[in-house]
Amino acid sequence: MRDVQINLGNRSYSIFIGQGVLDAAGTLLTGLPTGRKALLVTNPTVARLYADRVTAALTRAGIDVVRALIPDGEQYKALQSAEMLYDRAFAAGLDRGCPVVALGGGVVGDLAGFVAATYMRGVPFVQIPTTLLAQVDSSVGGKVAVNHPRGKNIIGAFYQPVLVLSDTGTLRTLGAGEVRSGLAEVIKYGIIKDAAFFTWLENNLDHVLALEPAALAHVIEQSCLSKARVVEEDETEQGQRAILNLGHTVGHAIEALAGYGRYSHGEAVAIGTAVAARLAVDLGLLQENEEHRIRNLLARAGLPLEVPGDISTDAVMAAMYGDKKTRAGQITFILPAAIGRAVIRPGMAEEPIARAIDNCRA
Ligand code: NAD
Ligand code: MG
């Protein structure tokens, strides 16, 4: 079992990573000053696979488990679901010391975290992420949220967990698409923060794709460390934390324009990363051979690199800059300056971005 320590003053916590850490949930939780009753938030898909094991582990440690299921799907990351969970927590008599435990992917984690942050002005929050994306990204950094008809994640808070348990064994039941989607963020960490990790991925990707426990544990550990280092410097995204958005500006535009569901988030981010790398080469920031290494690794992970033919460059630009009339003509762009280092470029003009998008087509 590996232990990654996140240092945020009195909001510091540990991420435990390894095969079977799920079964240690009770022992690890009772080491913390939390109540003896827990709200276990999950969905039917994940509950069927893992809720009994987590419940047994908590029960063995003397914790009463109140299980609450939310239907599976991004659309349930909503205030109505939060309200349902508050009702459940009140009905079960949960007080301010009782933890909310999130068991599932990023949807369950973000929603349960939002409830933990707001129920009685905040109760202890425990994350048991079960997707690769959740283990390497959404469970680290303390952003919790629900969606609103006006936008994704726009009702939320910064709220750190007291404990995160990432069990590599849970990734075996994920679909290949879910694994790929998480890998886009993993590769991102190598590009923005850690050249040695990028090289390790080049040498070990096959072991990762085969879901070998040791390779997965390394990937999760290094990803958490990278994200944690960025977050520790800038917890509430005043500056440097923006480098985590590499590939996301164009990626979000493509994800939305293609219609949510056609590209997974990770696939859209991969395309956005390819565009950012091209732009960085065009601007003389990145060497061409490093762009090739980035493209190769993404491709080997099964991720797309090309802006689809049915989405025009104009449409992508409009999605990024907003309406033509109100465009300030400037956005902040994250660019790789080398493998292992990203820069934040505020005030990027439209023209070079449009050219890079054109150059990332089949
Ligand atoms: P998800 O939570 O929808 O999970 C994907 C699918 O996998 C779901 O159907 C889920 O039921 C299923 N699943 C989960 N674990 C499984 C397992 N072990 N075996 C089989 N199936 C399993 O999606 P996700 O990709 O994990 O997370 C996406 C969400 O995360 C989005 O809402 C996004 O906004 C959010 N997010 C948040 C942050 C943050 O910093 N808070 C960062 C990135 C993404
Ligand atoms: Mg992302």
- Our answer to whether residue 235 is catalytic in this structure is no
Complex-level ipTM:
0.99
Please give the pLDDT value at position 329: 59
Q: Helices in 149-308 by DSSP H: which ranges?
A: 176-193, 195-209, 213-233, 248-257, 265-282, 288-300
pTM of the model: 0.95
Minimum-distance ligand to the CA of 252? Answer: 2
Read off the pLDDT of residues 276-316 as tens digits, 9 standing for 90 and up: 999 999 999 999 999 999 999 999 999 999 999 999 999 99
Q: What single DSSP character describes residue 296?
A: H
User: Which residue reads 């449009």 in tokens?
Assistant: 354
CB 51 within 8 A of CB 104: no
- Our answer to whether residue 227 is catalytic in this structure is yes
CB 187 within 8 A of CB 221: no
- Our answer to whether residue 241 is catalytic in this structure is yes
> How far is residue 181's CA from residue 303's CA, in Å, rounded to a whole number?
8
- Our answer to whether residue 265 is catalytic in this structure is yes
- Ligand 1: residues with CB < 6 A are 43, 45-46, 49, 72, 74, 77, 104-108, 110, 130-131, 133-134, 137-138, 141, 143, 152-153, 170, 173-174, 178, 181
Does the structure show a pLDDT above 80 at 35? no
CA of 119 to the centre of ligand 1 (A): 22
> How far is residue 107's CA from residue 130's CA, in Å, rounded to a whole number?
11
Return the ligand 1 atom nearest residue 173 CA: 19
- Of 188, 218, 248, 278, which is the active-site residue? 248
Task: Give the other-Cβ count within 10 Å of 322's Cβ.
Answer: 12
CA of 10 to the centre of ligand 2 (A): 27
Which amino acid makes up residue 85? L
CA of 251 to the centre of ligand 2 (A): 9
CB 358 within 8 A of CB 306: no
Nearest C-alpha neighbor of 119 from the set 147, 148, 159: 159
- Our answer to whether residue 237 is catalytic in this structure is yes
Name the residue with higher pLDDT: 302 or 332.
302
Read off the pLDDT of residues 204-241 as tens digits, 9 standing for 90 and up: 999 999 999 999 999 999 999 999 999 888 777 778 88
- Our answer to whether residue 121 is catalytic in this structure is yes
CA of 122 to the centre of ligand 1 (A): 23
Q: Looking at residues 139-151, what average pLDDT do you find?
A: 94
CB-facing half-sphere around the CA of 117: CA atoms within 13 A: 20
Handedness of CA 165, 199, 227, 102 (dihedral sign): negative
CA of 205 to the centre of ligand 2 (A): 20
Please give the pLDDT value at position 362: 85
Please give the pLDDT value at position 328: 58
Does the structure show a pLDDT above 50 at 243? yes
